[in-house]
Amino acid sequence: MTYRRRSVDFREFLFLALMRRNERLTEIGSRSLRQERGRIVVERVKVKACGVLVFRRQPELSFLVMKHHHRLDLPKGHVEAGEDETQCALRELWEETGIAPEQLELVPDFRYAEIYYPFERQYSRDRVEKTLVVFLGFIAEPIDIQITEHVGYDWLPWRPPHHVQKNTFNPLLTEVEQFFERSPQWITPGR
What is the C-alpha separation between 150 and 142, in angstroms, rounded? 20
Both 165 and 78 in one domain: the answer is yes
* In a shared domain, residues 56 and 130: yes
pLDDT at 32: 58
The number of domains in the chain is 2
Same domain? 25 vs 89:
no
Domain containing residue 105: CATH number: 3.90.79.10
Between strands 46-56 and 129-139, the pairing is parallel
Clarify whether residues 90 and 17 are in a common domain.
Answer: no
* Side-chain half-sphere CA neighbours of 18 within 13 A: 12
Same domain (yes/no): 112, 20: no
The verdict on 36 and 50 lying in the same domain is no
> What's the pTM value of the predicted model, to 2 decimals?
0.77
Is there a single domain that holds both residue 37 and residue 113?
A: no
Residues contacting 93, CB < 8 A, separation 6+: 51, 52, 54, 75, 99, 101, 104, 137
**Do residues 132 and 76 touch, judged by C-beta distance below 8 A?**
yes
The answer to whether residue 131 is domain-embedded is: yes
The residue segments making up the domain with residue 176 are: 46-187
Residue 114 CA to residue 135 CA, distance in Å, equals 12
pLDDT at 82: 95
Predicted pLDDT of residue 49? 95
Percent of the residues in the chain that have a pLDDT greater than 90, as a whole number: 59
CA gap 130, 107 in Å, rounded: 23
Residue 119 in domain: yes
| 132 located within any domain | yes
Same domain, 28 and 63: no
Per the document, the length of the chain is 191
Based on the fold, state whether residues 107 and 180 are members of the same structural domain.
Answer: yes
103 and 178 part of one domain:
yes
pLDDT at residue 30 in the model: 45
Per residue in 67-121, pLDDT tens?
A: 999 899 999 999 999 999 999 999 999 999 999 999 999 999 999 999 988 887 7
b (16+ CB within 10 A) / e for 14-32: ebeeebeeeeeeeebbbbe
pLDDT tens track of the chain, all 191 residues? 443 444 445 555 555 555 554 444 444 444 556 666 667 666 778 899 999 999 999 999 999 999 999 899 999 999 999 999 999 999 999 999 999 999 999 999 999 999 988 887 776 667 888 899 999 999 999 999 999 999 999 999 999 999 998 877 999 999 999 999 999 999 987 66
Whether 139 is in a domain gets the answer yes
Based on the fold, state whether residues 33 and 86 are members of the same structural domain: no
Whether 117 and 173 map to the same domain: the answer is yes
Question: Is residue 57 in a domain?
Answer: yes
Which residues lie across from 26 on neighbouring strands? Answer: 33
User: Is residue 1 in a domain?
Assistant: no
